[in-house]
A and B are shown apart, each in its own frame.
Chain A
Amino acid sequence: MAEGSNAIKQRNERYNKYVDTVTPKTSIPKALFHSFAVGGTTCVIGQGIGDIIMLISPAMSKDMVANITSMILVTVAILFTGLGFFDVIARQGGAGSFLPITGFANAMASASMEFKTEGLIFGTSVKLFSVVGPVVVNGIVWSSLAGLINLWILGMY
């Protein structure tokens, strides 16, 4: 039995190695270029929105401008998700569309749209964080840890 399972293990290893060589891979330079283009464009648009807000009301604080810019970008991303454009852009952009705040908005909006059919409580409310859950959990855990390190070890506060 042990001999048999060993042979199967060896067979599986060889098969997986063979599969790796024949499986088409994503072309990395192309993917890098696409995500740079899409992510960069998003950031340029965000900067543009911020500049326009600054022009309209110069009295506004920088934090406030950044907040409003993010809100506008999130709204646009949700709108695009609802209209069905976002996944087309994201298929090209990859991480470039996922990393900015637009990706987070899309993940939440798409989940809420998808599970709308199960009702507001058991559908939308329960599944709203099904995709972005890991982002939220990790964000809280790691920022808490960083805060504790700051507080106890570095003594910054």
Chain B
Amino acid sequence: MSIFKRNKRSEPEALNAFNAATFPPPTEFSKRPRIMRFFNTPRIVGKMSVVGNKESKGPVGKYFDKCETDDKMGEKTFERAEIRMLDTAVRGAVRDAKLEIEDIDVMVSGDLLNQMTTSSYAARDIGVPHIGIYGACSTMTEGLMLSATLVDSGYFTNVICAASSHFATAERQFRYPLEYGCQRPPYAQWTVTGAAASVISKNTEATERFPKLVMAIPGLITDYGVNDLNNMGAAMAPAAMDTMFTLFTQSGYNENDFDLIVTGDLGKLGSDILRDLMRKRGIRLGQNYIDCGNIIYDVNQKCYQGGSGCACSATIFNSFIMDKLSNGEYKRVAYLATGALMSTQSCYQGETIPCISHAVVVESPFGGK
């Protein structure tokens, strides 16, 4: 009769089996200093988010700067459409910062495709020096961290950081052809179509009213032995847990000091697992914790556990989170995007999924908490 048993969430015996002893003791992590503090306060002076049709109909749809109703945007291929979307986001962010493309010193960007073609082709068209990064879905935080470092160290004045993903191109690379009639398991996630960019600039009198990047934590590759290509939330939750725990133990802030703690694309299942994992370490994530994958789609949009992809957290961060940071509604936000660093080959070869989560902390220009 077991096949007729409906799944229940967080059965007590399962949680008991999964006790605190399953982790290495916290001291093992906290010994190594991992926080980068930006003392010259790099600021995020411009942002732009572009999303596809489906995302614009989601619960946070009204906050996005631009919505593309056509998935191909009149281009010949989906890849070209993604390049154009990234291009739009980068140019829009530069315009939003009241700068010109010539003022941008370097562009740090990434996407999901092999050899980062989207980023490279977009950078070719834009014509600024380019640093390509790959962090799967954590690309945006990785980019913000690196851009902030470049600006903070004084090498560059204006750095643009961007990320993009497209449902159709990611689907072709990681799964099946679009029209192929296959069933997804109920724990699958849906790749977000979108692109987002933010401009990070040096702290001057002119940029004083913009949100500032105060610290970042490079992630630790965490692999808890999940090898299901579809169950990304469960694979990525431990990585988020590791970085989040480091943030709370080393930054001097605890979970209540943040107005918003936002993870990238764990989805509904992954964020529930993260809550469980953090509870096991004595930290209760309350109302101020949200997951971008969980909120980007409506339940009725049939996206199972929610969104994933670089653009998932990038577009949400560059829309309503930045808006609320700019007007002072949020004073301090921790942004931890998570990425699953597998390829289809590695999964078919029986490897488990290594995951990473980088964190950045952004503060509003209007006073601290």
Residues of A within 8 A of B (CB): 7, 9-19, 21-29, 81-82, 84, 86-87, 89-91, 93-94, 97-98, 103, 106-107, 109-111, 113-115, 117, 130-131
Contact = CB atoms under 8 A, between A and B. Distances in A.
A90 B183 contact: yes
Q: 8 smallest A-B Cβ distances: which pairs?
A: A90-B181, A12-B225, A114-B177, A21-B14, A110-B179, A110-B180, A18-B18, A110-B177
12 contacts: A9-B225, A18-B276, A19-B231, A22-B273, A24-B187, A87-B182, A107-B181, A110-B178, A111-B177, A113-B177, A113-B178, A113-B179
A87 B276 CA distance: 35
B30 interface: no
B24 interface: yes
A22 B17 contact: no
B179 A84 contact: yes
Looking at chain A's contact residues, the main secondary structure is helix
A90 B17 contact: no
B244 to A, nearest CB: 17
B14 A91 contact: no
Interface stretch (B1-9, B113-121, B127-135, B209-217): B1-9
B272 interface: yes
Nearest to B13: A21
A11 B224 contact: yes
Contacts, number: 121
Contacts of B76: 117
B32 to A, nearest CB: 16
A98 B176 CA distance: 14
A87 B14 contact: no
B182 to A, nearest CB: 7
Contacts of A117: 76-79
Contact of B186 (A13, A24, A82): A24
Contacts of B177: 110-111, 113-115, 130-131
B62 interface: no
Contact of B185 (A15, A26, A109): A26
B323 to A, nearest CB: 33
A114 B226 contact: no
Nearest to A25: B7
A107 B177 CA distance: 8
Looking at chain B's contact residues, the main secondary structure is loop
Contacts of A12: 223-225, 352
Interface of B: 3-4, 6-7, 9-11, 14-15, 17-18, 22-24, 76-79, 172, 176-187, 223-226, 231, 234, 238, 269, 272-273, 276, 352
Contacts of B77: 117
A86 B231 contact: no
B26 to A, nearest CB: 14
A109 B179 contact: yes
A94 B18 contact: no
B180 A24 contact: no
Given A21-B7, A82-B179, 11 more contacts: A12-B225, A19-B234, A21-B14, A22-B269, A29-B4, A93-B181, A98-B182, A106-B179, A106-B180, A113-B179, A115-B177
A69 B185 CA distance: 32
A114 B172 contact: yes
A115 B234 CA distance: 31
Contacts of B187: 23-24
B181 A89 contact: yes
B162 to A, nearest CB: 24
Contacts of B11: 21
Contacts of A93: 181
Contact of B272 (A22, A113, A130): A22
Contact of B180 (A16, A29, A107): A107
Contact of B181 (A26, A106, A113, A130): A106
A146 B141 CA distance: 56
B181 A23 contact: no
B17 A17 contact: yes
A81 B179 contact: yes
A94 B78 CA distance: 27
A22 B10 contact: yes
A117 B178 CA distance: 13
B3 to A, nearest CB: 5
A131 B181 CA distance: 11
Contacts of A23: 7, 187, 231, 234, 269
A21 B273 CA distance: 11
Given A11-B23, A23-B187, A114 B178 contact: yes
Contacts of A25: 7, 186
Contacts of A26: 183, 185-186
